[in-house]
Amino acid sequence: MCTPTDARRFLRRFGMPVIGSLVGALLLSSCASRVSHAQTPERLTCAVFPADNIWNTPIDKLPIDSNSAAYTATIGADKPLHPVFASGTWKGAPIGFPYALVPGSQPKVAMSFTYSDQSEPGPYPIPPNAPIEDGSDSSGDRHVIVIDKDNCVLYELYNASPKPDGSWRADSGAVFDFKSNKLRPAGWTSADAAGLPIFPGLVRYDEVAAGEIRHALRFTAPRTRKEFIWPATHHASRLTNQQYPPLGQRFRLKSSFDVSAYSPQAKVILKGLKKYGMFLADNGSSWFLSGVPDPRWADGDLQELRQVRGSDFEAVDEFSLRIGNQSAQSKHN
């Protein structure tokens, strides 16, 4: 059986970004063997942004972006869609983006940021045992996602670590009020390169079990352009050629793609990708789709998603939905 170290070596050898040991483990099927189950996440009862937020707006009727073919070719027309979430754990760490729900009374702690000029200052209500992406010993992106479930406020950290005094340090931090359509200031990053929130774009089991995903999802691509488009607020590239997609670009699964033969969990995800699509949120591996770890995932169903290829997607032009540059509110399409 291979190890996460083997998978990281594989990624580097073929010029693919290393975005955490668990991703490496997922890349090679033999590395996806799990030794235990992830914990069932607490269900969030807050609405994730207003109904007219762009994250919650269908894009199945929008026109195709004029650069769509170039974008999919650059990301990898023959590359598979890859779910980066599962039911198990690797060496005690869940596979995917874990999150913690805390009450409004959760004590807030001091924060220190590398990019303090693009981060909301502390304090944040981050508990000392908040789950870290890939585990507390991870050398990957070390995202931390915490939601104040009483006030419906999202806190996200990138490259985060707790300090002995109870405070936390991170490269960057971002705060999103789920009751608001406000975007981050232009030029600001977040815990994601695009300046977007991570949590709203995650595949969550409770939505799939209910039979419908009603929001956009999140994915990564190896190379992006030195540009961001609404609703993103930040870029992370030096490349300027037009075949590279900008951060914030939205893609959808083509309406002609036949989902009828897919297993239940995969089918719900694919239908969501047809109607709501997915945002290019960060630099990473081709068509890596983000989700929440959950012991109820049917990993066999999820692996069926790898039958989908980049050529099955198309980039869409959603600028007709924009109301203002500083707002994620969208028009009806």
pTM tops 0.85, yes or no? yes
Comparing CA positions, the residue from 286, 259, 281, 306 lying closest to residue 73 is 286
What CA–CA distance (Å, rounded) separates 4 from 26? 9
What CA–CA distance (Å, rounded) separates 295 from 301? 13
Beta strand 278-283 pairing with 217-221: parallel
Are residues 198 and 139 in contact, defined by beta-carbon separation less than 8 angstroms? no
Are residues 167 and 192 in contact, defined by beta-carbon separation less than 8 angstroms? no
pLDDT in tens, the chain (333 residues): 333 333 433 333 233 444 444 444 444 333 443 445 678 999 999 999 999 999 999 999 999 999 999 999 999 999 999 999 999 888 788 999 999 999 999 999 999 999 999 999 999 999 999 999 999 988 899 999 999 999 999 999 999 999 999 999 999 999 999 999 999 999 999 999 999 999 999 999 999 999 999 999 999 999 999 999 999 999 999 999 999 999 999 999 999 999 999 999 999 999 999 999 999 999 999 999 999 999 999 999 999 999 999 999 999 999 999 999 899 999 975
For position 61, what pLDDT does the model report? 96
Which residues are 97's β-sheet partners?
Answer: none
What CA–CA distance (Å, rounded) separates 111 from 231? 26
What CA–CA distance (Å, rounded) separates 115 from 134? 22
Question: Prior bond to 17 cis, omega within 30?
Answer: no
For position 333, what pLDDT does the model report? 58
What CA–CA distance (Å, rounded) separates 186 from 161? 27
Euclidean distance between the first and the last CA atom of the chain, given in angstroms as a whole number:
50
What CA–CA distance (Å, rounded) separates 104 from 153? 9
Residues contacting 256, CB < 8 A, separation 6+: none
